[in-house]
Amino acid sequence: MKKIGVFCVIYWLTWHASFGQESKIIELDPVEIIPTDKLLIYSNFSKKHKGNNSNVLGPSGNIKIATVSGFKNREKSTIELEGLEFFFNYNWTEDSSGFYIQPVVVGEDGLPLGDSTHFPEKYLVTSKLRNRIFIDLSSKGIRLAPQERVLLGIRFIENVNPATPNMFNISVLSGRMDDSTYLLYWDGRLPEKIYDSGKHSAGLKYAVVYKLKE
């Protein structure tokens, strides 16, 4: 499969009030995820997938964009999302101060699922995380009924050091994917599909941590 070019699209991210100085900043810590009978993990990757690195730029211009992938609850009961894990390959030798991100969990129409999926916080990523990001969602109360589908992903905001170019490097996959991949805009447009699911697909590399609700 040819190099995934669409993921090199510039993420035009304008400054928003929720990204301002009054936004709560959460510094992420390394987390080891240990599955149990109650804590389950869905990973959208296996040894059959090919890993790729993709550069992302932002903020610039006047449009905010996030890359999101479809995720469906395939359990027979309602689940509650406990966290999301994403992967990246940031060059810490160029800028060790870190960068800010926001997770994205929205409905199929691209709209937030009530107040639970609104993220006014900025999450700080530093070199102690190396190349894995875990975002704790346990306080958000995001529940999915059986077969309910959402779009989830990540939005890059800015570097801590304003003098450093806003260049980020995310891990993406090519190969058979269970769901489609989209670009999500902040101007009310429906999510734009860029890859269908199936054998020759591509998308973010991620894992969903969840628990079953009785």
Domains of the chain in start order, with CATH, are: 26-212 (2.60.120)
What letter represents residue 68's amino acid? V
pLDDT digits (tens, 9 = 90+) for 170-189: 888 888 888 999 988 877 78
How far apart are alpha carbons 195 and 15 in whole angstroms?
28
pLDDT digits (tens, 9 = 90+) for 117-144: 778 889 999 999 988 999 999 999 999 9
Average pLDDT, the chain: 81
The pair of structure tokens assigned to 133 is 């990001």
- The residue with tokens 């309910």 is 148
Quote the pTM value. 0.81
pLDDT band, residue 88 (cuts 50/70/90): confident
How far apart are alpha carbons 116 and 48 in whole angstroms?
34
Q: Strand runs (DSSP E) across the chain, as ranges?
A: 25-27, 39-43, 50-57, 65-72, 79-87, 99-106, 122-125, 132-136, 143-144, 149-159, 167-177, 181-185, 192-195, 198-204, 206-212
